Amino acid sequence: MKAALAVIALLIAAPSLACGDRIRAGSLDLATATLDDITAALAAKRVTSVQLVDAYRRRIDACNGELHAIISLNEAAMSDARVLDAERAAGRLRGPLHGVPVIIKDNIDLAGAVTTAGSLALAANRRDTDAPVVSQLRAAGLVILAKSNLTEWANFRSSRSSSGWSAVGGLAVNPRDPTRSACGSSSGSAAAIVAHLAPLAVGAETNGSIVCPASVNGIVGFKPTVGWVSQRGIVPISHTQDTAGPMAARVSDVATLSAAMVTPDHAAALAGPMRAGALRGARLGVIRFIDGFSPQTLAEFEKSLAVLRNAGAQLVDIRSFDYADLRDLEGTILRAEFKTGIDAYLSTTPPAVKSRTLAQLIDYNRAEPRELQWFGQDTFEASQATGGVDDPAYAPALQRALAIAREHGLDRLLKDNAVIALVAPTNGPAWKIDLVNGDRGVGSASLLPAVAGYPHLTVPGGQVSGLPVGLSIIGTANDDATVLALGLAYETARDAR
């Protein structure tokens, strides 16, 4: 017992003073530098991409021992930065993020690097090619700096997991209060932004895995419409719900990174500046029917609603909506899609990876004590018991769930109330880490847009006892630009108070 308590104490210890030390890149102090500061310094040639990569690596060295936000560094980052610096010197820029470092979640394939999804079973999963989203980031001029920690298998191994923990990366903690959860599964990506380990990060979401860590860490996170970002080369859970998405300190940063991530078919929708004053005259539906939020969280939500009103929005309360069986339907869908999807992904791994099927992953975990030291694999086992997407229960569940979440859900709520988007608290504040009992529910707005595959943005919306809580803005399919514009307008109005 003493040994176990010592491990917990080590994992959740407060960040060292070294993490707060000033680490400079050219004229920039990375502990305070914003994305605007970085791009301006690069343009003025007051800093180089090589200097940024070197300085952020030193900051990761100083901070990561306590935060466990990063699983691995990209060995090619420095050589990539040199190429981008040479292109800038020759007057060739790939875009507004040319030379800017970005961190990607370690379930996304990066050529020459290992993709672990946090699992020791994938420790030899060195990839030969980039995921398409990584290729697009490179084409936009970004430097892949590192891969972030995550809840193992994107939080799909157990119903009693602790967010942020993986056997490979340890426990990613919340930099605002390291005794509290960073949420998951994109916990490391969120923590990295708060700790200024990079100005930009990429997360991935099936249901809440971008917006929850963004909300409880006090940053911006965006889950785009499913299909706007290619999911090839990303360890899957669900082909109907999975998507990668951007995470950053500001809405404008997230919008710029999103434009670099979306497929060419959708790039035009995010081209150019977002519409100013998007809240003036905008009718927004206020979700009042989600249970689980504390009175303090709801009080902060009311403050956010006041900001929206003062910026010119017209608010319409929506007090009831029955989607009681949607979560059960989602479980049926995800278990079947995971069984099929993970077997397909594992078949692409190199021969050194010995677990080639979900059944073999389950056997590996049973034989490897480090994997099951804190929580089990009941979700894996339930998925294995399905027939995959050929299971007789799968297609009816998917059809019903999509009807509830889309046609009879978000789309009907938008239409019947004549509103262009919905707003809600994203989550409650971060809960105390408890590796023995797992996560604690604090309320969540992610289910409907997750199952529907619709865009969902979270923006910092206040604090409860010093802990961040987020404001969610949810739109209909392919209305990503509107959701981002509303978020920027809210952020601007909030900061002007």
Tell me the catalytic residues. Answer: 105, 185, 209
Q: Residue holding tokens 């993970």?
A: 342
**Which pair of structure tokens corresponds to residue 322?**
């029955």
Beta strands 421-425; 467-474: pairing state: antiparallel
Q: Torsion angle, CA of 31/32/35/37, rounded to 10 degrees?
A: -120
Nearest-CA neighbor of 189 among 212, 160, 161?
212
CA dihedral for 431, 435, 436, 441, sign (positive or negative): positive
Q: For the chain, what is the HEC assignment?
A: CHHHHHHHHHHCCCCCHHHHCCCEECCEECCCCCHHHHHHHHHCCCCCHHHHHHHHHHHHHHHHHHHCCEEEECCCHHHHHHHHHHHHHCCCCCCCCCCCEEEEECCECCCCCECCCCCHHHCCCECCCCCHHHHHHHHCCCEEEEEECCCHHHHCCCCCCCCCEECCCEECECCCCCCEECCCCCHHHHHHHHCCCCCEEEEEECCCCCHHHHHHHCCEEEECCCCCCCCCCECCCCCCCCEEEEEECCHHHHHHHHHHHCCHHHHHHHCCCCCCCCCCCCEEEEECCCCCCCHHHHHHHHHHHHHHHHCCCEEEEECCCCCCCHHHHHHHHHHHHHHHHHHHHHCCCCCCCCCCCHHHHHHHHHHCCCCCCCCCCHHHHHHHCCCHHHCCCHHHHHHHHHHHHHHHHHHHHHHHCCCCEEEEECECCCCECCCCCCCCCCCECCHHHHHHCCCEEEEEEEEECCEEEEEEEECCCCCHHHHHHHHHHHHHHHHHC
**Which pair of structure tokens corresponds to residue 186?**
């994109």
CB-based burial of residue 393 (10 Å sphere; 0-12 exposed, 13-18 middle, 19+ buried)?
middle
Residue 141 to residue 260: CA distance in whole angstroms: 9
Residue 253 to residue 297: CA distance in whole angstroms: 26
- The answer to whether the CB of 461 falls within 8 A of the CB of 469 is yes
